[in-house]
Amino acid sequence: MTKPAPRIAKLVVIGVGLIGGSFALALKAAGRVERVVGIGRSRANLDVARSRGIIDDGITLDGDWTRELAGAVVVLLATPVAQFPSLFAAIAPHLPTATILTDAGSTKQNVIAEARAHLKAALPQFVPGHPIAGTEHTGAAAAFATLFRDRNVDRPAFEASKGKSVTVEASRARNGSASGLIRQVTLNDGTVVSACPQNC
In this predicted structure, the answer to whether residue 130 has a pLDDT above a threshold of 80 is: no
Is the dihedral angle over the CA atoms 102, 107, 110, 112 positive or is it negative?
positive
Q: Which helix (DSSP H) or strand (DSSP E) does residue 86 occupy?
A: helix 84-91
The pTM score is 0.79
Domains in the chain: boundaries = 11-148
The yes-or-no verdict on residue 60 having pLDDT over 70 is yes
- The more confident residue out of 199 and 46 is 46
Predicted confidence at residue 159, as pLDDT, reads: 57
Distance CA 168, CA 23 (A): 10
Closest to 185 in 3D by CA, of 76, 112, 105, 109: 76
Q: What is the CATH number of domain 11-148?
A: 3.40.50.720
pLDDT for the residue numbered 153: 65
Taking only the tens place, the pLDDT of each residue in 74-128 is: 999 999 999 999 999 999 999 999 899 999 888 888 999 999 999 999 998 998 8
Reference 36, options 73, 10, 7, 71; nearest CA is 10
Position 2 scores a pLDDT of 58
Task: Please give the Cα distance from 33 to 11 (Å, whole number).
Answer: 7
What pLDDT, in 10s, does the model give residues 183-196?
444 444 444 443 33
**Beta-carbon count within 10 A of 82 CB:** 10
The H or E element containing residue 51 is helix 43-51
